[in-house]
A and B are shown apart, each in its own frame.
Chain A
């Protein structure tokens, strides 16, 4: 039992890192640029579809990834040029409306181009197979690679924001754009690059998870809310917060789902416990978010008084 608990803890953390991988790009655009991008989920989906296409064409996971990344970057640049740059100065609600429109357009566009049926991305030979872990369970090597990618994104972003000139300009630009512009920095170009980079991160996440998750037209929407939950629990604008929140969400969801019914059985009769457990399982993440916000209205690491 204890072993299984520890294992589920690990699984939860692993799921959390997966979530962070998707949330990383959103943290950048939403947290730093204060831009609500509902279309982040579809960018993630586009990344996965491009990955599926390129990997299929080249018959290689690695070549596919190497082509998919610049492709999503370019896609992000085009979107930024056509739509997003006109929205930075607008209200959050305008951003919500426009990016909601983009969700509809891009999801449908994906269906037109690739069809409704889910697609497959093969795992690279190098990362397939599994390593033995506690007892009969084997741990897939690819999962370890996903964890590594998530951790690398976290460290990379943290370093980028806190220890580079670009990061400093970004932080300053987010709070006081005229000031940064006065320093002779072309702020709109900076934002353009950041947005495209955020889009690429989303695409990267999509490409990386493609071998373990279904690549279908609904994949963007199913992850969107979860990533927003992660960012809000962590506190908008905090990379550290988003990372911890992602792990927290992963652990609460995984452990709560598996051990919740067992714990409930200690306080109520088995059938009621099973019933309640089933009802509560999908609510866990939302209960967690409501509780965190009740206790700390700007998330775990949010700036006080920040929006």
Chain B
């Protein structure tokens, strides 16, 4: 543990860089970039949570955006019930997500491979249509929030405040997952990814470990949802459509699965790329798609693979 793993160093550098964004862009006279960067951080949290199950657990969920939605709706419901504290909303979002993930995860884990991909999609679509049908929450139109949440009495109305809370959440979750993936539990999860039969022959039953990981990932993703709702001050079922789930997978694979730093980098770059390309042309999707295809063709393991070939960072936990 004493010498920091290269990837951990890369992550710390990344976080430091992100911490400098608000003062730097303010100094450059474009403070609004903080909001753009905040969006990148939110999706980094979502991608990070997906990495736990997809990268470390080899469970390819095509319905992960559902938990983004649960988090967002926790804010809308919280605001309605007088829960304006961010922590309370996070707890609510986690409770909703954990409940849904526990039931649907237990059923989904009966299946493997492509069937798992599709059954997780099915459950997410059900959640999506459930919220579309809730007229009291605006149905398909969604619901605008009157104000952002507060954290322990401090308002997050300012973009700077929300930004650093998001960065704090990302770093906390990164640290937590860094520990988790190196813990006993994380080892069992990785072992199951490598060879489930071998793990059984050691005396493990993969199911409870996979299910717990699935629930943890859901809860962490709902944190991203809570923050997304606060960032946009708006909650909509569009946050949980299958397209969004696909985008989360894309961010993760783009960054390189099974490495926490890759997940963060993938989300940052993917969201940033979309942002930059959209400035130049309405047809930005063409360029974005091209980048994705080229990355797959010429850089297996995504951006992390690319970084490794360029000599930045190496193998290691994290």
Q: A–B direct touch, CB within 8 Å, in complex?
A: yes
Which residues of A line the B interface, CB within 8 A?
A: 36, 83, 86-87, 90, 92-94, 96-98, 100-109, 111-112, 221, 225, 228-229, 232, 236, 275, 278-279, 282-283, 286-287, 289-290, 293-294, 297-299, 302, 306-307
Report the nearest A residue to B109, measured CB to CB: A297
A93-B249 contact given A236-B114, A279-B130, A293-B110, CB 8 Å threshold: yes
Given contacts A102-B289, A282-B129, A289-B122, 19 further A-B contacts (CB under 8 A): A93-B257, A96-B246, A97-B295, A100-B289, A102-B293, A104-B292, A105-B286, A105-B293, A232-B115, A236-B114, A286-B126, A287-B126, A289-B118, A290-B107, A290-B119, A290-B126, A293-B119, A297-B111, A299-B115
Query: In the complex, what distance in Å separates the CA atom of A194 from the CA atom of B165?
Result: 52
Q: At the interface, yes or no: B187 with Cβ under 8 Å from chain A?
A: no
A112-B283 contact given A93-B60, A293-B119, CB 8 Å threshold: yes
From B107, B115, B286, B300, contact of A94 by CB (8 A): B300
Q: For the complex formed, measure the closest distance between the CB of B308 and the CB atoms of chain A, giving whole angstroms.
A: 16
CB pair B113 A307 closer than 8 Å: yes
From A229, A279, A289, A294, contact of B129 by CB (8 A): A279
A112-B286 contact given A101-B291, A102-B293, A294-B107, CB 8 Å threshold: yes
Query: In the complex, what distance in Å separates the CA atom of A276 from the CA atom of B158?
Result: 41
Residues of B within 8 A of A293 (CB): 110-111, 115, 118-119, 122
Query: In the complex, what distance in Å separates the CA atom of A221 from the CA atom of B246?
Result: 12
Residues of B within 8 A of A103 (CB): 289
CB pair A229 B292 closer than 8 Å: no
Query: In the complex, what distance in Å separates the CA atom of A279 from the CA atom of B295?
Result: 40
Query: Which residues of chain B in 265-318 are interfacial with respect to chain A, using CB atoms and an 8 Å cutoff?
Result: 283, 285-286, 288-293, 295-297, 300, 302
Q: How many A-B residue pairs have CB under 8 A?
A: 127
From A101, A112, A294, contact of B293 by CB (8 A): A101
From B126, B129, B254, B289, contact of A104 by CB (8 A): B289
Q: For the complex formed, measure the closest distance between the CB of B89 and the CB atoms of chain A, giving whole angstroms.
A: 25
CB pair B242 A98 closer than 8 Å: no
CB pair B129 A283 closer than 8 Å: yes
Can you list, as one digit per residue, whether each of B100-123 has a CB less than 8 Å from chain A (1) or not (0)? 000000010011111100110111
Query: In the complex, what distance in Å separates the CA atom of A200 from the CA atom of B54?
Result: 33
Residues of B within 8 A of A98 (CB): 292-293, 296-297
Report the nearest A residue to B292, measured CB to CB: A101
Can you list, as one digit per residue, whether each of B111-148 has a CB less than 8 Å from chain A (1) or not (0)? 11111001101110110011011000000000000000
- Which 10 residue pairs spanning A and B have beta carbons closest together? A101-B292, A104-B289, A105-B289, A307-B113, A279-B133, A286-B122, A98-B296, A101-B293, A108-B286, A101-B289
Report the nearest A residue to B247, measured CB to CB: A100
CB pair A108 B283 closer than 8 Å: yes
CB pair A283 B126 closer than 8 Å: yes
Can you list, as one digit per residue, whether each of B34-65 has a CB less than 8 Å from chain A (1) or not (0)? 00000000000000000000100000100000
Residues of B within 8 A of A105 (CB): 285-286, 289-290, 293
Q: For the complex formed, measure the closest distance between the CB of B58 and the CB atoms of chain A, giving whole angstroms.
A: 10
A96-B122 contact given A102-B293, A105-B285, A108-B286, CB 8 Å threshold: no
Q: For the complex formed, measure the closest distance between the CB of B75 and the CB atoms of chain A, giving whole angstroms.
A: 22
CB pair A225 B121 closer than 8 Å: yes
Query: In the complex, what distance in Å separates the CA atom of A223 from the CA atom of B295?
Result: 27
Q: For the complex formed, measure the closest distance between the CB of B131 and the CB atoms of chain A, giving whole angstroms.
A: 10
Query: In the complex, what distance in Å separates the CA atom of A225 from the CA atom of B302?
Result: 25
Q: For the complex formed, measure the closest distance between the CB of A239 and the CB atoms of chain B, giving whole angstroms.
A: 16
CB pair A278 B133 closer than 8 Å: yes
Query: In the complex, what distance in Å separates the CA atom of A287 from the CA atom of B285?
Result: 32
Q: Interface size on B (CB < 8 Å)?
A: 42
A90-B293 contact given A97-B253, A111-B283, A112-B283, CB 8 Å threshold: no
CB pair B115 A100 closer than 8 Å: no
Q: For the complex formed, measure the closest distance between the CB of A74 and the CB atoms of chain B, giving whole angstroms.
A: 20
Query: In the complex, what distance in Å separates the CA atom of A105 from the CA atom of B292?
Result: 10
Query: In the complex, what distance in Å separates the CA atom of A306 from the CA atom of B114?
Result: 10
Query: In the complex, what distance in Å separates the CA atom of A306 from the CA atom of B300?
Result: 25
Residues of A within 8 A of B115 (CB): 232, 236, 293, 297-299, 302
Report the nearest B residue to A233, measured CB to CB: B118
Q: For the complex formed, measure the closest distance between the CB of B241 and the CB atoms of chain A, giving whole angstroms.
A: 10
CB pair B125 A286 closer than 8 Å: yes
Query: In the complex, what distance in Å separates the CA atom of A58 from the CA atom of B253?
Result: 45
Q: For the complex formed, measure the closest distance between the CB of B271 and the CB atoms of chain A, giving whole angstroms.
A: 15
CB pair A107 B285 closer than 8 Å: yes
Report the nearest B residue to A236, measured CB to CB: B114
Query: In the complex, what distance in Å separates the CA atom of A98 from the CA atom of B302?
Result: 11
A-B contacts, 13 of them at CB < 8 A, read A93-B60, A94-B253, A96-B250, A98-B292, A104-B289, A112-B283, A283-B126, A286-B123, A286-B126, A290-B122, A293-B111, A294-B110, A307-B113
Residues of B within 8 A of A306 (CB): 113
Residues of A within 8 A of B130 (CB): 279, 283
CB pair A297 B110 closer than 8 Å: yes
Q: For the complex formed, measure the closest distance between the CB of B56 and the CB atoms of chain A, giving whole angstroms.
A: 14
